[in-house]
Amino acid sequence: MKRRDFLKYMGIGTAALAMSPESFCTEKLHAPLPHRSGRINLSFKPYELKLIHTFTVSKNSRTHTPDVLVFLEYEGIVGYGEASMPPYLGETTESVCSFLSQVDMTRFNDPFRMEEILEYVDSIAEGNRAAKASIDIALHDLVGKMMGQPWWRIWGLSPEKAPCTSFTIGIDTPEVIRQKVDEAAAYKILKVKVGVPNDKLLIETIRSHTNRPICVDANEGWNNKEEALEMVYWLAERGCTFVEQPFPKAMLDETAWLRERSPLPIVADEFLQRLDDVPRAYGAYDAINIKLMKSTGMHEAYQMASAARAMGMKLMIGCMTETSCAISAAAQLSPLCDWADLDGNLLISNDCYEGVKIVDGRIKLNERPGIGVNQSLTISI
């Protein structure tokens, strides 16, 4: 089907093709833009994310997260994407910029050929998942804007099914933990980072301060299955809803052992990156935590969600510390998911995008086309 026929089929007038992102956001029609290159142009810019609090998990602490903002332009319409690189992913600003420098998007003259474009991007080099995700997100934003529709609608999802998001509390002193719990008053679920010797003190500090449900993420920080099982029962008695990545990812047999006995669902995070990891997680984990920076973006994330669902597994949509750009992109998938942990934009002080919101603790998808964001700070490329 030709693109214009497809748009007609989607109920979208061809005027949509000539609309800039701004015109979609203000719902005003504008005259066609004079510049029609017929080629997809890629540009990018490093952008360091500043964390509001020093963020500590079981393996490291940090105050900044490196990030690269990506722009795909086609006939005057710009799609936004980003690559966020927390240390454990192994990507850096230099590696992402080096990868993006190798991508020749001008070889494509039809952004709707997403499968072909993303296959090409994936074939350039192994790994580089965040770099690949940045192009995938920008391409989805571009195509959604050309269609005049948000991705949750293109995928046929119902926005009212978007779950509440948890808010992450990093490992810290009891005093700072109490302060963070107060700051997270708007969120109905707290995600607590554990995996250190004083795990129970952390949980008891939170429990002495709030009755809100919690979930825990050990970030591979536990290594004894009997102790882990005792801890999971202890957590279940304290209003915990699930346990994420209890053991190092190589301890698959121990994870399956724990899952068989656990009163709480066990969620795979570090264990699982891309689509071919989903069947490997089956049997050892009850659920998978999909993150765009691991999955190479929205295209494969949707495939992973479909595969996990087909195997009867539960789904979580998660994030890194990211701007509202990648968070809003991930949120498009959230109506498919049982749980969401999309708070990465709330942990930074220099978000340069404005997108989906959290209302009464729940993800509120908007009607903006693409991934649903506007720039809130002007970024010169």
Q: In whole angstroms, how close is the CB of 291 to Mg ion at the nearest point?
A: 8
Return the range that interacts with Mg ion (CB under 5 A); candidates 159-167, 244-252, 327-335, 367-375: 244-252
Q: Considering the complex, what minimum distance in angstroms separates the CB of residue 341 from Mg ion?
A: 8
Query: Can you tell me the distance from the alpha carbon of 131 to that of 293, in angstroms, rounded to the nearest whole number?
Result: 8
List Cα–Cα distances, 38 to 35, 111, 369, in angstroms: 9, 10, 21
Contact 83, 95 (CB under 8 A): no
Q: Shortest CA distance to 316 belongs to which of 237, 215, 185?
A: 215
Residues contacting 316, CB < 8 A, separation 6+ = 244, 267, 287, 288, 289, 290, 337, 338, 339, 340, 341
Site for Mg ion in 201-220 (CB under 5 A): 217
152 or 222: CB nearest Mg ion = 222
The region of 4-12, 164-172, 185-193, 242-250 touching Mg ion under the rule CB under 5 A is: 242-250
* Residue 62 CB, nearest approach to Mg ion (Å): 15
Closer CB to Mg ion, residue 288 or residue 356? 288
Q: Is 92 helix (H, G, I), strand (E, B) or coil?
A: coil
Tokens representing 233? 């029962």
- Residue whose beta carbon is closest to Mg ion: 269
Shortest Å distance, C-beta 318 to Mg ion: 6
For the bound state, the minimum distance from the C-beta of residue 320 to Mg ion, rounded and expressed in Å, comes to 10
Name the one range near Mg ion by CB under 5 A: 29-37, 70-78, 104-112, 266-274: 266-274
Please report which helix (H) or strand (E) contains residue 77, including its range.
Answer: strand 77-84
Phi and psi for 289 in degrees, rounded to 5?
Answer: -100, 105
Does residue 322 touch Mg ion according to CB under 5 A? no
Give whichever of 138 and 305 is closer to Mg ion, judged by the CB atom: 305
Residues that bind Mg ion (CB under 5 A): 217, 244, 269
